[in-house]
Amino acid sequence: MPHTILVVDDAKAVRALAKQALAPLGLAVSEATNGYNALFAMEKSLPDLLLLDVKMPIMDGLELLTMMRSNPTLARVPVVMLTSPADHPILGQLTALGVSAILKKPFDPAALVEAAQRALGRAN
């Protein structure tokens, strides 16, 4: 069974780029448009990896990550964060919450693949 990745970003183009970059790895990739939808998706099926944007409507990435780390089941899911230069003030919080990697947008698809492979290696 292939690893599963949940890509959480409000920008459809970013989700599409992530899916395209990860396609050669043979992963099952699903999508959510905000943290609230991601929580709902994770209740149905726990992913092996979460690719998470910081800035989103309804529930942002930092809020979702904080909630995940306080839930024993969700805390095990490795997270790769997608940030922008405006997110610089919270990088320390993201690191303290144990993210596997932080990628700045626009991210290099090869860097995403490398971060995903490292995070999934830790998850096994």
Residue 53 burial (CB count, 10 A):
27
Summarize pLDDT for 43-93 with one digit per residue, the tens. Answer: 999 999 999 999 999 999 999 999 999 999 999 999 999 999 888 899 999
Residue 23 has pLDDT above 50, yes or no: yes
Mean of the per-residue pLDDT values of the chain: 93
Residue 124 has pLDDT above 50, yes or no: no
Residue 20 has pLDDT above 50, yes or no: yes
pLDDT score of 41: 96
pLDDT score of 86: 87
102 within 8 A of 91, measured Cβ to Cβ: yes
- Domains belonging to the chain, first-starting first, are 4-123 (3.40.50.2300)
Residue 46 structure tokens:
């726990």
H/E stretch holding 114 reads helix 109-123
Residue 106 has pLDDT above 60, yes or no: yes
pLDDT score of 2: 83
